[in-house]
């Protein structure tokens, strides 16, 4: 599981795990999309043959409650 403030690389781009106002789910996903333009889970579809891509399922598994990845 990711930790607040941790810098991680998702689909080749660097993000920082940042606090948000919403718990996991649609509102947090909308905040992630608004913050990042194109969220890292959506970019997984650009590389369909790569099994290691960060997708929505991996985000829900690894993201702490009330946090999103914010591109830096």
25-65 confidence digits (pLDDT tens): 999 999 999 999 989 988 877 766 777 788 888 999 999 99
- The residue extents of the domains of the chain are 7-71
pLDDT of residue 42: 87
Residue 15 has pLDDT above 70, yes or no: yes
Question: Residue 55's pLDDT is what?
Answer: 87
Instruction: Give the residue from 48, 49, 62, 52 showing the smallest Cα distance to 11.
Output: 52
Q: How confident is the model at residue 7 (pLDDT cuts 50, 70, 90)?
A: very high
Cα 4 to chain centroid, rounded: 12
């Amino acid at each position: 599981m990711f930790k607040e403030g941790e810098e991680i690389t998702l689909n080749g781009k660097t993000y920082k795990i940042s606090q948000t106002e919403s718990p996991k789910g649609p509102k947090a996903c909308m905040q992630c999309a608004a913050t990042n333009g194109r969220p890292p889970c959506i970019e997984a579809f650009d590389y369909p043959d790569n099994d290691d891509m960060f997708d929505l399922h991996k985000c829900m598994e690894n993201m702490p409650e009330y946090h999103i990845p914010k591109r830096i």
